[in-house]
Structure 1
Amino acid sequence: MRPTKIETQKGHEIVSRDIRRQLESGELAPGQRLPSLEKLAEAYGVGRSTIREAISALKAMGWLDVRHGGGTYAAKTLPQASAAGLLDLSHGAEAVMEILEVRKILERGTAELAALKREEVDLARLRAILARMATALEDDDASGGERADLEFHQAIASASGNPVLNQLMDSISQRLSETIGRTRELWFYQEEAEASRLLDEHRGIYEAIAARDAAGASERIGLHLAKVEKVLQEALGRSAQDGTAANQKEE
């Protein structure tokens, strides 16, 4: 790789564009491993968070493959059109919206009940999951972060003490896993430095449950899901605009 040093407030966009240029030109071959996060940050002259945002964006659009514990690789099959990645992203976002509607109904009540019925063992489990979330963030482990995110929401259902709610969460666990992964990609693609804020939101939910604040727990998880919904809607709107622009260019 021959990255160009940059100094800009939106460095992640420049980094993303430069890595994509190398992918399109063949300078980075399909399946080729990229340098580590630290080496990329040093090469581009930016912080690790800037590189993380650029990689998240390219992963979300299908240009990169991030493997748990195995580094970041150029995708073996690259997107064929400039707007293809975002169009695929919007299609995925539409599917996520359906499960999000279920989550908004189910999880607010589950969090409220968990705050009333939780036991110390439940709080210990949630703290352990939050610790893994923090470790995944420090290690730039996207897969580990996604798994911890899923386990956190499942642990809240378990803390509710209601076996029916627990079974309902288990029954949608596969869809939940897929949508959490998709929303995290969209989240980090659209927003700068959102990884730490996402962790803080989960901590806030935990604190309300630990304090037996039923209304607060319901409100915090509702705000969290509302933020996810906002990111999805923005992704859909942006993708629609890019699709229109691509069609006009072809005409």
Structure 2
Amino acid sequence: MTFNPVKPPKSSELVMEQLKARISSGEFAPGTKLSSVVDLAAGFGVGRSTIREALSALKAIGLVEIRQGGGTYVSAESKEEPAESQSLFANAQSIRELLEVRIILETGCASMAARNRTEDDLRSIGEELALMEASLHDEAKGEEADVRFHLKLAAATHNSLLIPMMESLSERLHDSMRESRRLWFYGERAEARRLLREHTDIYDAIRQQDERKAFEAMSSHLLKVENVLREAIAGFDTSVRNP
């Protein structure tokens, strides 16, 4: 007799499901401000990090808004069942396909940029890195700087074919980053800082003109994002099979 392995749910998942149920039932109406992280942690009998993770998960599926310094609110357009979640995770497969192209293309770009970059290129890429750091609490601005970082890195290759290839992907690249950031629960400052560190590693390798290090740093960064997407796709498949 064989069975499928059972993975016990994390505390944050249990908290998230309870809060989601109350939002879906209308107990927490749109616009309602949730209790503070401290109060929620005390109410659920868990640590604050567990509450933050649960709230980030709810934010990722569009059920709550986390306002920096202002608390957490039920989204004004919350639905009984997060339809946005369906479209978000349904897109994960095509996002993963785009990411596979990015891994092939951008690791080569990083390596070539390390070899061919000029001081002007380095200065331009560094400006986007600085903007990413300044936008740790602003998803939209951080996302824009992230896209420009990758496009400027491609420009630093000074390859007449690679540059237009990356530019042609720019719109899809923007969509990919937006969705992967949300899947990564980007509302957590710790995750934003980790993302910044990965981009800094890429920048440092290019600055040092270390082609191998630049290739590996870009590969490591994109593979981490791919792992997040794989988990999201697996989770979506499970929810479809077991509604």
TM-score if structure 2 supplies the norm length? Answer: 0.78
Amino acid at match of 1:143: A
Match of 2:158 in 1: 161
1:64 is the counterpart of 2:64:
yes
Spell out the pairing of 1:3-82 with structure 2 (5 A cutoff).
Answer: 13=13, 16-17=16-17, 19-30=19-30, 32=31, 34=33, 40-44=36-40, 53-64=53-64, 74-81=74-81
Taking a change above 3 Å as real, the CA distance of residues 221 and 50 of structure 1, as seen in their structure-2 partners, is: same
Q: Indicate conservation of the 8 Å contact 2:118/2:156, yes or no.
A: yes
Identity across the alignment (%) = 41
One of 145, 149, 152 as aligned partner of 2:146: 149
Displacement of 1:12 in angstroms is 5.1
Spell out the pairing of 1:52-131 with structure 2 (5 A cutoff).
Answer: 53-64=53-64, 74-81=74-81, 86-131=85-130
Spell out the pairing of 1:170-181 with structure 2 (5 A cutoff).
Answer: 170-181=167-178
- Partners of 2:197 and 2:85 lie apart in 1 by 28
Instruction: Please give the per-residue CA displacement for 1:168-217, whole angstroms capped at 9, x wherever unaligned.
Output: 2111111100110111111227x994332211111110111000011111
TM-score if structure 1 supplies the norm length? Answer: 0.76
One of 235, 242, 250 as aligned partner of 2:232: 235
Structure 1 gap segments, 5+ residues each: 1-9, 247-251
Displacement of 1:17 in angstroms is 4.4
Taking a change above 3 Å as real, the CA distance of residues 236 and 120 of structure 1, as seen in their structure-2 partners, is: same
Displacement of 1:74 in angstroms is 3.5
Amino acid at match of 2:58: L
Q: How many residues align?
A: 228
Instruction: Please give the per-residue CA displacement for 1:88-135, whole angstroms capped at 9, x wherever unaligned.
Output: 332111110121122112111111111011112222222222222222
Structure 2 gap segments, 5+ residues each: 1-9, 42-46
Displacement of 1:71 in angstroms is 8.9
Instruction: Please give the per-residue CA displacement for 1:120-173, whole angstroms capped at 9, x wherever unaligned.
Output: 222222222222222222x3x121221121111111011112233222211111
RMSD value, Cα = 3.2
Amino acid at match of 2:150: H
Taking a change above 3 Å as real, the CA distance of residues 192 and 76 of structure 1, as seen in their structure-2 partners, is: closer
Amino acid at match of 1:58: L
Deviates more, 1:71-80 or 1:119-128: 71-80
- Partners of 2:86 and 2:25 lie apart in 1 by 22
Deviates more, 1:52-61 or 1:167-176: 52-61
- Partners of 2:157 and 2:15 lie apart in 1 by 44
Q: 1:62 aligns to what SS in structure 2?
A: coil
Match of 1:201 in 2: 198
1:217 is the counterpart of 2:225:
no
Match of 2:44 in 1: none
